[in-house]
Amino acid sequence: MAFAELLDRVGSTGRFQVLNVVLLCFPTLFMATHNLLQNFTAAVPGHHCRVSANLTCGDNGTGSLDCRHLFIPTDGQRTLQKCRRFVTLPRPAPGSNSTELGGMESREEPCLDGWVYEEEEFASTVVTEWDLVCDFRNLQQMAQSIYMAGVLAGAVVFGGLSDKFGRKALLLWSCFQMAVSGSCAAFAPTFTAYCAFRFLSGMALSGVGLNCSSLSVEWTPMQHRATVSMATGYSYSAGQFVLAGVAFAIRDWRWLQLALSFPYFVFFLYGWWFVESARWYATAGKLEKALKELQKVARINGRKEQGEKLSLEVLKASLQKDTVSAKSSFTVADLVRTPGLRRITCCLCFVWFSTSFAYYGLAMDLQNFGVSIYLIQVIFGAVDIPAKLVAFLLICSFGRRITQALSLILAGLSIVGNLFVPQDMPLLRTVLAVFGKGCLAASFNCVFLYTGELYPTVIRSTGMGFGNTMARIGGIVAPLVRMISESSPTLPLVIYGAAPIVSGIAACFLPETLNVPLPDTINDVESP
């Protein structure tokens, strides 16, 4: 493409590209911490009913476990029930210990005086703050769904705005919005206010992801796009380690929320250094600004003389086709207006949705693995390292299409495989879940690169935004599917596994982009 030749003249793999990718990796890193933050800020600690103040336990004190058994029903393993208590103190059976229930049946009631929470693992969470347990337990999942709805809204809004106003401006605004809304969520006085600020944080996160991806891809030459994609993918994986470490050190949800939101103020400040995409300027018909940005990149890369040789006449001659196409305005409808784009969009809808759907179905269920939630978070982050490395090698050697399809199908098979593993084999079940999560992480890494390469520059952010919209729908639906496990324990696994298998088959119908120049116009996509 013509722009690729211009990029070579000002330096396509110089100091600027390295700095650009490194600085874009930090906002991407903290995206992971916010996506998975509610594993810790909304964790559900052990709890039981608070005993009425007018009931006493003699010399033992109400803090004694034996004493609590007198006031709170237990199950077969003598575990305290979480949502019921006795109305009155039951009479001990004759000749029995004081902790054993008598033969009479005591009436039970809900936890009218609130709950007592265990504080060994979490000092404070959203759940303990607003008692989101028992009859209110679904509000915890609602908070995550509201956040994902914000990510969805951000994908729709910021995708189109980025193609209209540029990548840099929307990235700066998204970082600022994330910093402010995330910090405000830490001081939210009510659950409603908390959900509202989390919604705004979700919107901002989409803007950060979309524009970081566009700025990195559009300043990168064809032969290095996979490497850049791997670097940004690993930064997201590193964010999962950061989340586990910070959450382990900060057990209070408000301080944890604030600690992971404040860095976006720093990203907003240094984001003014970013160079707007000259490729976007060219397709928007702003050749003067495109020339200015190309010359700036040339200076950073030590090619000032080559940059000064560029002129508006050179740009007009090189980018004539792009500037002609820029006279037209583009909308979401253009994603399905032509046959080639229609096929790409339909297939990517399946890929984005199922990847996110299965990913968050696994990643947001860490408390059910039976081991430390911090350890599981580290394991889930660690599996991304080999998974994304293998995906990178496959992407570079065999292409995007086979990598995308293979990662999805393997993920689906590993999830479905858990249907045939007995519950008394938790290690094998965990291994299969971790392997599936690694495949889904590889799928995410691939689809971000693949989508940016399939859509032309004039609608690239719109296409990325639409793909992210489908991903966020998957993120919203995932916790709802997990809720049906109470009535059918195996059905969620069937659904989580079937979705990526079907999407992996759909990915086989996408065109290959390995060693193919980045398209700038719709005609570039439709031309054989």
Question: What is the tens place of the pLDDT at every residue in 9-33?
Answer: 777 677 887 888 888 888 888 888 8
- Name the domain count of the chain: 2
Total count of residues recorded for the chain: 528
Could you tell me if residue 123 is inside a domain? no
Q: How far apart are CA 361 and CA 355, in angstroms?
A: 10
Sign (positive or negative) of CA dihedral 51, 53, 57, 61: positive
Indicate if 355 and 482 belong to the same structural domain.
yes
Indicate if 226 and 197 belong to the same structural domain.
yes
Which regions of the chain are under pLDDT 70?
A: 1-4, 7, 12, 52-70, 73-78, 88-106, 307-309, 314-331, 364-371, 423, 485-486, 528
Domain finish residue from 88, 117, 146: 117
Q: How far apart are CA 321 and CA 467, in angstroms?
A: 27
Q: How far is CA 435 from the centre of its chain?
A: 18
Q: How far apart are CA 118 and CA 82, in angstroms?
A: 12
Domain finish residue from 117, 149, 174: 117
Q: How far apart are CA 131 and CA 209, in angstroms?
A: 33
Of 214, 167, 182, residue with least CA distance to 37? 182
- The 3-state DSSP class for residue 48 equals strand
Whether the Cβ atoms of residue 250 and residue 259 lie closer than 8 Å to each other: yes
Indicate if 248 and 294 belong to the same structural domain.
yes
- CA 133 vs CA 48, 109, 197: distances in Å: 10, 15, 22
Could you tell me if residue 130 is inside a domain? no
Whether the Cβ atoms of residue 301 and residue 10 lie closer than 8 Å to each other: yes
Q: How far apart are CA 465 and CA 9, in angstroms?
A: 31
Residue 74 is classified by DSSP as: B
Could you tell me if residue 125 is inside a domain? no
| Strand extents, DSSP E, 451-527 | none
Beta bridge partners of 110: 84
For the CA atoms of the chain, what is the radius of gyration? 27
| Cβ within 8 Å of residue 463, ≥6 positions away | 159, 335, 345, 348, 451, 454, 455
**Given this model, what pLDDT does residue 402 score?**
92
Indicate if 36 and 58 belong to the same structural domain.
no
Indicate if 144 and 93 belong to the same structural domain.
no
> CA end-to-end span of the chain, whole Å?
15
Indicate if 89 and 145 belong to the same structural domain.
no
Domain finish residue from 86, 117, 148: 117
The H or E element containing residue 159 is helix 138-165
Beta bridge partners of 86: 108
Indicate if 420 and 481 belong to the same structural domain.
yes
Could you tell me if residue 122 is inside a domain? no
**Given this model, what pLDDT does residue 153 score?**
85
Indicate if 335 and 458 belong to the same structural domain.
yes
**Given this model, what pLDDT does residue 336 score?**
78
Could you tell me if residue 425 is inside a domain? yes
Rounded to 10 degrees, what is the CA torsion of 406, 409, 410, 415? 160
Of 292, 290, 279, 238, residue with least CA distance to 456? 279
Indicate if 327 and 353 belong to the same structural domain.
yes
| Cβ within 8 Å of residue 356, ≥6 positions away | 444, 470, 471, 472, 473, 474, 475, 478
CATH of the domain at 405: 1.20.1250.20
Q: How far apart are CA 310 and CA 295, in angstroms?
A: 8
Q: How far apart are CA 396 and CA 389, in angstroms?
A: 11
Q: How far apart are CA 276 and CA 20, in angstroms?
A: 11
| Cβ within 8 Å of residue 189, ≥6 positions away | none
Q: How far apart are CA 109 and CA 131, in angstroms?
A: 17
Indicate if 365 and 398 belong to the same structural domain.
yes
Indicate if 53 and 36 belong to the same structural domain.
no
Sign (positive or negative) of CA dihedral 418, 420, 423, 427: negative
Q: How far apart are CA 315 and CA 317, in angstroms?
A: 5
Could you tell me if residue 235 is inside a domain? yes
Indicate if 152 and 78 belong to the same structural domain.
no
Could you tell me if residue 383 is inside a domain? yes
Render 215-256 in DSSP notation, one character per residue.
HHHHTS-GGGHHHHHHHHHHHHHHHHHHHHHHHHH--BHHHH
Structural domain including 301 reads 2-44+135-526
**Given this model, what pLDDT does residue 505 score?**
93
| Cβ within 8 Å of residue 63, ≥6 positions away | none
Q: How far apart are CA 44 and CA 367, in angstroms?
A: 8
Could you tell me if residue 436 is inside a domain? yes
Sign (positive or negative) of CA dihedral 185, 190, 191, 197: negative
Please indicate, yes or no, whether the overall pTM of this predicted structure exceeds 0.95.
Answer: no
